[in-house]
A and B are shown apart, each in its own frame.
Chain A
């Protein structure tokens, strides 16, 4: 076959055409669907294997957030005397910590996809996105358990007459969960793609998420921020999400539809950029890692 007609030749008879570049927007999501069972397998593997040979077993899903909440309650609630919109400070911090944990773990795990699995990726091909997606499922399950514990504590506070007023807006929360997963995945993918060339980003991400938490209304409500500065916080996609969770579950928080719209837009952009960078990096990262 001559080189001249390459552009017009029919490539449909080939299963795979391996070229240096593929389209910017070719995320191969169809291929991901073919491998959906593998996503589930990895999810089960991670979940089953993570607490084998520990004495407390599944309790480890709930111990860290409770301890963190206690520390926050003492440090920020009692010593720092940060206002919590009149809600029980324990519940206020616990909800923030639980929601934030879900996001932060999704981001961290996604950003470590290449470096944690280079052994596996060097041996065999499957869509690399399978791994971050399966860790998101693991995180979702962890979140469900932690959220159940939160509900348990909320019931206790409510029964003892605490200021807890959940409302019908909780129906929006699953959508916000998906959004957080998408946000974590998007930023995780960006970091992941950058770490294939520059390892520095791996260090920055752990530190960065911690700093980001303090900028995300986890330990204080948005209402405590002065009016002039609020718009900066609203640009942070995590702020409206956390405030929305507080509003729906506890009955106090500062969130508007357009806050959530900004947050969703930022998420969509970051996810899009993340997927582009990830799919460009996944083809050659084995050469550099």
Chain B
């Protein structure tokens, strides 16, 4: 197996901030220096841009990434949002160029960053198949040869000469995916955005990628939901802040990735990644059990109080409404549930004190043993309101054992992230579906 993709010290720098008038002047200075073959007068001496004191205007989305990918490998690239994986994809699909280092690619690359790229609503399905296929890098003859196949796959034969603005959204997605699925590049880059849509469509995507993988082509799959690609990928790498932190089998990569979510303490004073206007700030998060004892681990099936201790900078201000939302995600960033006072119909006093706690009680916690991450949003209204404070990954919630079902037994996490209470029984009279049950069953309990 030969190397088909080789990254050598690949780095990408982005400039932050808005474009200012001084940029034109700086650009001209740089250009002038370059013409005279002098050093960049504005380059930082001795320090990296991130160490620069004061205002940091540049960020390294990728820093010295070295990686070799071989023919026929199915590689999962995992990383949090902002870890550099999208940047890597963009460089490989030639959408943007690296700042330094280089990437060597052997064979045709097709990137499915989004299906239906370049679709034009006024044109017919036929015309769009050609445009879309060509944009994705298919030659005209190739599309001619596979046209019938594509149309059949999409299932829109009858409407192929109808402008696609008359298509339903389902037909559009099918048509777009049909084109994408018939690309035959040596290297296929798939972003997780492809994994949206209904489950039938997702299954179709995954099946198709499995087929492609079996045909011995190279696939790069990018995700921050590692579990979604666990079955396809054999090798996994983890990107963190633009650097390649781990390279190994996919399952090793996933456990490494999970371990990177470091323990965060309950105190939030020093967190700089908040959003919101800061009128009200949550300073700490605390978990308490039903006896109001502070706990570090919660138990399935028991009540749990989540205290959001806040400081209110505007105690004189009367707020007609306050909207507090808790988002709970798994350690791999999969949303588990959302709880908010608008769903429960609870409201708070219009004048909040300077300090206090907003408490959410979760009744009979329906979660199996695992680590969950908690984010919150405090806003003046659910939609269109002013965000007062919001923080991602504000706290970690450990759930450890418990007796949810009253039997002392719990399913393990990989069988599902939710516990749903229920009851089982045998019905002797129900011999076939559709028949109404005898009345005596209805009166029990």
Contact B134 A45 (CB under 8 A): no
Residues of B within 8 A of A53 (CB): 122
- Interface presence of B99 (CB below 8 A): yes
Contact B118 A120 (CB under 8 A): yes
Contact B104 A14 (CB under 8 A): yes
What is the CA–CA distance of A18 and B106 in the complex, to the nearest angstrom? 11
- Interface presence of B15 (CB below 8 A): yes
What is the CA–CA distance of A48 and B117 in the complex, to the nearest angstrom? 19
- Interface presence of B377 (CB below 8 A): no
- Interface presence of B403 (CB below 8 A): no
Residues of A within 8 A of B381 (CB): none
**Nearest Cβ on chain A to B67's Cβ, whole angstroms:** 13
Contact B104 A41 (CB under 8 A): no
**CB-nearest residue of chain B relative to A120?**
B118
What is the CA–CA distance of A42 and B101 in the complex, to the nearest angstrom? 34
Question: A44-B127, A124-B113 known; A19 and B135 CB under 8 Å?
Answer: no
Chain B residues 89 to 137 lying within 8 A of chain A, measured CB to CB, are: 90-109, 111, 113-114, 117-118, 120, 122-123, 127, 130-131, 134-137
Q: Which of B19-27, B245-253, B391-399 contacts A (4 or more CB under 8 A)?
A: B19-27
Contact B99 A20 (CB under 8 A): yes
Contact mask A12-49 → B, CB, 8 Å, 1/0? 01111111100000000000001101100110110011
- Interface presence of B140 (CB below 8 A): yes
Option from A34, A120, A283 in Cβ contact (under 8 Å) with B97: A283
Contact A14 B113 (CB under 8 A): no
- Interface presence of B14 (CB below 8 A): yes
Contact B96 A283 (CB under 8 A): yes
What is the CA–CA distance of A49 and B128 in the complex, to the nearest angstrom? 12
Contact B91 A18 (CB under 8 A): yes
Contact A35 B134 (CB under 8 A): yes
Option from A16, A120, A288 in Cβ contact (under 8 Å) with B135: A120
Question: A120-B118, A197-B27 known; A125 and B93 CB under 8 Å?
Answer: yes
Contact B95 A123 (CB under 8 A): yes
- Interface presence of A4 (CB below 8 A): no
Residues of B within 8 A of A14 (CB): 104-106
Q: How large is the interface on B (under 10, 10 to 19, 20 to 34, 35 or more residues)?
A: 35 or more
Question: A37-B140, A38-B134, A52-B122 known; A11 and B117 CB under 8 Å?
Answer: no
What is the CA–CA distance of A35 and B139 in the complex, to the nearest angstrom? 8
What is the CA–CA distance of A17 and B103 in the complex, to the nearest angstrom? 6
What count of chain A residues pass the 8 Å CB interface test?
36
Most chain B beta carbons < 10 A, residue from A16, A48, A288: A16
Contact B15 A288 (CB under 8 A): yes
Contact A124 B95 (CB under 8 A): yes
- Interface presence of A198 (CB below 8 A): yes
Residues of B within 8 A of A34 (CB): 139
Chain A residues 150 to 209 lying within 8 A of chain B, measured CB to CB, are: 197-199
Contact B95 A121 (CB under 8 A): yes
Contact mask A277-289 → B, CB, 8 Å, 1/0? 0000001101110
Option from B27, B106, B122, B134 in Cβ contact (under 8 Å) with A13: B106
What is the CA–CA distance of A257 and B163 in the complex, to the nearest angstrom? 50
Chain A residues 244 to 276 lying within 8 A of chain B, measured CB to CB, are: none
Residues of A within 8 A of B122 (CB): 48-49, 52-53
Contact A125 B95 (CB under 8 A): yes
Contact B93 A124 (CB under 8 A): yes
Option from A20, A44, A126 in Cβ contact (under 8 Å) with B137: A126
What is the CA–CA distance of A16 and B23 in the complex, to the nearest angstrom? 32
- Interface presence of A122 (CB below 8 A): yes
Contact B19 A198 (CB under 8 A): yes
28 A-B residue pairs with CB within 8 Å: A11-B104, A13-B106, A16-B94, A16-B104, A16-B105, A17-B104, A18-B92, A18-B104, A18-B105, A19-B98, A20-B97, A20-B99, A38-B134, A41-B127, A45-B127, A48-B123, A49-B123, A52-B163, A120-B118, A120-B135, A121-B95, A123-B117, A126-B135, A197-B24, A197-B27, A198-B23, A284-B97, A286-B90
Q: What residues make up the interface of B, taking CB atoms closer than 8 Å to A?
A: 14-15, 19, 23-24, 27, 90-109, 111, 113-114, 117-118, 120, 122-123, 127, 130-131, 134-137, 139-140, 163
Q: What residues make up the interface of A, taking CB atoms closer than 8 Å to B?
A: 11, 13-20, 34-35, 37-38, 41-42, 44-45, 48-49, 52-53, 120-126, 197-199, 283-284, 286-288
Q: A53-B122, A198-B19 are in contact. List 12 more A-B contacts (CB 8 A).
A: A18-B91, A18-B97, A18-B103, A20-B102, A45-B123, A49-B122, A49-B123, A52-B163, A124-B136, A125-B94, A197-B24, A198-B24
